[in-house]
Structure 1
Amino acid sequence: MHSIRIGSGAGYSGDRIEPAIELAERGGLDYLVFECLAERTIALAQQVRRRDPDGGYDPLLATRMGAVLGPCRRNGVRIVTNMGAANPLAAAAATRAVARSLGLDGLRIAAVTGDDVLEAARAADVALEEGGTLRSLGDRVLSANAYIGAFPIAEALAAGADVVITGRAADPALFLGPMVHAFGWAADDWDALGRGTMAGHLLECAGQVTGGYFADPGVKDVPDLARLGFPIGEIRADGELLVTKLPGTGGRVSAATVKEQLLYEIHDPARYYQPDVVADFSGAHVAQDGPDRVRVGGGRGSAKTGLLKTSIGYVDSCIGEGQISYAGPGAVERGRLALDIVRDRLALTGVRASEMQFDLIGLDALHGDRLSRGHAPYEVRLRVAGRTATLEEAARIGNEVETLYTNGPAGGGGAWKSAREIVAVASALLPESAVRPTFTLLEA
């Protein structure tokens, strides 16, 4: 095959659905990829699966599949996604149910598993990037998921899967898998894998590369963001890439939007570590090739490390928070008095918090007193948040903010409070030999 067209249907779990439907219906695609996992998302999904063995996959999976399975089947578009999160098998079963409800008999759905490596990580007592080992987290550990690569996805496609659902795969690997399948790239064709990884990295965040995250009014103007179109990548067999979008959709594809996305979340452009390859973007060249068309080439690669990044999810602490607004003359002064009152109340009542934050949103919440410009806004919103060991202790923080309604100062409104358990993520490296991805094929 000389080239393939891959569309990006989502850049995160809660992304818009309409752009993906447009791509499925009129994108002329070979593949539609939904990238829906963030660092912490899968640990939260593991929490859900503990409560419900049939849960733990992306909550929008059924809605997305219901919207795109029909047009994808009509147009010969295959779907790849990490919406399986903590439970790819259950996600595949849910997708089969959607397909049957739509009358799509014979649809083949592959669940790629093997990224759940909690037992292997415990057995190795892996070292954490942040210090210590897995054992040091004790019984707070929820999950350990390794970032698997493109080849299990390619194998599922080779087995005839119309839909491939993974758990924790590396983001670019979701796009690299179809390339490996379509072009027959070998596992040691480092330059091809490096170029394919670069293409996947440019496409993985969906609307970011078509101008969404790029937009800055008056500096970098982008048209019609309410109808932002998601990107299409035309990839050649040598890994060269053309980034574009559907005509008539909002946003912009330019050399500048592509360059910003190329550098997004990259520590060293010459050493971008992935499960399949160490990609090198340092020689990349980017050129405008017409309206909303940008050509990208020059990527390379070198041998993979044999180690897989692994995300360790664990219960870190609890956060208690309270907010209330003040408006009109003296809003800042009343807000500051309210902060003093809450600070004193927390001390008087003996709330035990390891960390506290006292902010006036609109004045100093992001950068503190040093960078506030001395202006007096018409309205401010007070926010008090603290880190505690228990939910009960966390709840006391928001309660004290709420009492400002009747215990001063004047004019507070819109009080809100919450107490929640915080799931954190630590990173570790696990030998690739300890991870054994496989796939299960279901048919509607």
Structure 2
Amino acid sequence: MSKKVRIGCGAGFAGDRIEPAIELAERGRLDFLFFEGLAERTLAQSHLARLQNPALGYNPLLERRISAVLPACRANGTRIVTNMGAANPLGAARAIAAAAAHLGFSGLRIAVVQGDEVSSLIDPAMTSLETGEALAKTGRSMIGANAYLGAEAIATALAMEADIVVTGRVADPSLVVGPLVHSFGWALDDWHRLGPGTAVGHLLECSCQVTGGYFADPGFKDVDELAFVGYPLAEVDESGDAIITKPEGSGGCVTRLTVKEQLLYEVHDPAAYLTPDVTADFSHIAIQQAGPDRVHVSGARGRPRPDSLKVTVGFDGGVLAEAEISYAGPGAADRARLAMEIVRLRMERLHRCSDVIRFDIIGMSSLHSSAIADPAPSNDVRLRAAMRTADAQLGQQLLAEVEALWIAGPAGGAGARGRLVPSIITQSVLIDRALVKPQIEMVEA
């Protein structure tokens, strides 16, 4: 029988549930368990956290996640790979070592992948992929810049007999491709295997999206036991073909439809999905039901990887001021519109606000406000006002103006609340991959 690797996803975003990861660690018979917890906004927030405390900057749930799964992983010989190091992978490794010691584990080898932080390589004249203008046009101070690393450093760390690999910014599918490269000995230019491996990583990376979570739509796409939806795992063979499944008895489902939806999630071009490892081609993939909650995926292809790496550049965005108040009963929408106009006029004329304020009347098709000219009236709405500003005092004034609507009118306002939080903005650039030099440091626990 040909060798197969079993790899499961223990998190698909920074705040994902922990219990399904424990289920995978205990019952998944896994070779590898990976945690994907690093969106672009999350990484920028991690930079802010590290600026406030140099010991922080990694995922706040890191210790809880690792402590929850480590006993089962050690008992079952499962190795862990995660990007929860965020803006401070070395700090994350030290936190893991402390958590392991608290649990009574010793002899743990924790590999730290660094080198994704490339602020020194960023030129303000670089062109933003989002705006087409120079980064300098933002007029804001940079707080960090991270390149999307690939699978190579992860595979190298595993070859160094790491029990846990902690990274900062790597491409999400690379968290799976790295263990596959290590396990099967794939060459780093074996595009015909790296393409299928990337498909597996992409299918797993968002945890329960592929097991029915984001898929569920009552009456149209019903999913059983969604409250206890399980996380996915893949049984991967040496060619990169795989069975996508989940722990037996867990909630949710794995079907051709859940796999198809996740395959196309956030993919700009299914025939040319660009990653640091490969240009993956999903356009010829075959998706076949292979049993209850078991889907066979084959036929992905690959071409040479891009010469450039994507870099997320985070900038200080000042503060985000956000305030809300509700209106109910007959004429609720009209009263909310009047409240909106009151706040707008007072901010412009009294407080000389030139920053853009976004207003939403939630309950009146606010998510589709640009597409629906005259939404249906509602007897229960909530006015939301939000503003990003460099002037914290002005942001506080927006919160005060919305709160004042409580008695300053119009009638029936209730449930006012507001918050003022540090804000970040991100833009992306491309840099020559040859300039980025990943490094690996081993921490013993």
Structure 2 length normalisation: TM-score? 0.96
1:371-430 Cα distance to aligned partner (Å, 9 max, x none): 276544331111122343322112211211100111112221110112333211111111
Separation in 2 of the partners of 1:151 and 1:347? 53
Match in the other structure for 1:145: 146
Q: What secondary structure does 1:57 align onto?
A: coil
The reply on whether 1:336 has 2:337 as its aligned counterpart is: yes
1:388 to 1:46, Cα distance in 2 relative to 1, 3 A:
closer
> Residue 20 of structure 1: CA displacement?
0.2
The reply on whether 1:276 has 2:277 as its aligned counterpart is: yes
Shifted more, 136-145 versus 216-225: the winner is 136-145
> Residue 135 of structure 1: CA displacement?
4.1
Separation in 1 of the partners of 2:170 and 2:375? 47
Match in the other structure for 2:63: 62
Q: 1:175·1:200 contact (CA, 8 Å) conserved in 2?
A: yes
Match in the other structure for 1:128: 128
Separation in 2 of the partners of 1:347 and 1:233? 56
> Residue 339 of structure 1: CA displacement?
2.0
Separation in 2 of the partners of 1:209 and 1:364? 28
Q: What secondary structure does 1:366 align onto?
A: helix
Q: Which amino acid aligns with 1:339?
A: M
Q: What secondary structure does 1:40 align onto?
A: helix
1:138-177 alignment, distance < 5 Å: 140-177=141-178
Shifted more, 80-89 versus 350-359: the winner is 350-359
Q: 1:231·1:244 contact (CA, 8 Å) conserved in 2?
A: yes
Match in the other structure for 2:92: 91
Separation in 2 of the partners of 1:403 and 1:162? 56
Match in the other structure for 2:202: 201
Q: What secondary structure does 1:371 align onto?
A: coil
Q: Which amino acid aligns with 2:112?
A: A
Percent identity over the alignment is: 51
Q: What secondary structure does 2:412 align onto?
A: coil
Shifted more, 142-151 versus 411-420: the winner is 411-420
Separation in 1 of the partners of 2:348 and 2:278? 54
Q: What secondary structure does 1:289 align onto?
A: strand
The reply on whether 1:437 has 2:438 as its aligned counterpart is: yes
Q: What secondary structure does 1:28 align onto?
A: coil
Q: 1:125·1:135 contact (CA, 8 Å) conserved in 2?
A: yes
Q: 2:140·2:317 contact (CA, 8 Å) conserved in 1?
A: no
Match in the other structure for 1:404: 405
1:338-374 Cα distance to aligned partner (Å, 9 max, x none): 2232223223313413322222210142222862765
> Residue 86 of structure 1: CA displacement?
0.4
Q: What secondary structure does 1:13 align onto?
A: coil
Separation in 2 of the partners of 1:405 and 1:136? 40
Q: Which amino acid aligns with 2:361?
A: L
Q: 2:365·2:375 contact (CA, 8 Å) conserved in 1?
A: no
1:139 to 1:324, Cα distance in 2 relative to 1, 3 A:
closer
Q: What secondary structure does 1:403 align onto?
A: helix
> Residue 154 of structure 1: CA displacement?
0.6
1:97 to 1:412, Cα distance in 2 relative to 1, 3 A:
same
* Matched length: 443
1:390-429 alignment, distance < 5 Å: 390-429=391-430
Match in the other structure for 2:256: 255
Q: What secondary structure does 2:366 align onto?
A: coil
Q: 2:113·2:441 contact (CA, 8 Å) conserved in 1?
A: yes
Q: What secondary structure does 1:47 align onto?
A: helix
Match in the other structure for 1:26: 27
Unaligned runs of 5+ in 2: none
1:240 to 1:364, Cα distance in 2 relative to 1, 3 A:
closer
Match in the other structure for 2:238: 237
Across the aligned residues of Structure 1 and Structure 2, the Cα RMSD in angstroms comes to: 1.6
1:354 to 1:150, Cα distance in 2 relative to 1, 3 A:
same
Q: What secondary structure does 2:425 align onto?
A: strand
Q: What secondary structure does 2:382 align onto?
A: strand
The reply on whether 1:6 has 2:7 as its aligned counterpart is: yes
Q: 2:363·2:381 contact (CA, 8 Å) conserved in 1?
A: yes
Separation in 1 of the partners of 2:86 and 2:440? 14
Q: 1:317·1:423 contact (CA, 8 Å) conserved in 2?
A: yes
Q: 1:353·1:389 contact (CA, 8 Å) conserved in 2?
A: no
Match in the other structure for 1:216: 217
Q: Which amino acid aligns with 1:391?
A: A
Q: 1:391·1:420 contact (CA, 8 Å) conserved in 2?
A: no
Separation in 1 of the partners of 2:177 and 2:135? 31
Q: 2:7·2:234 contact (CA, 8 Å) conserved in 1?
A: yes
Q: Which amino acid aligns with 1:191?
A: H
Separation in 1 of the partners of 2:405 and 2:301? 60
Q: 2:117·2:147 contact (CA, 8 Å) conserved in 1?
A: yes
1:369 to 1:63, Cα distance in 2 relative to 1, 3 A:
closer
Unaligned runs of 5+ in 1: none
Q: What secondary structure does 1:347 align onto?
A: helix
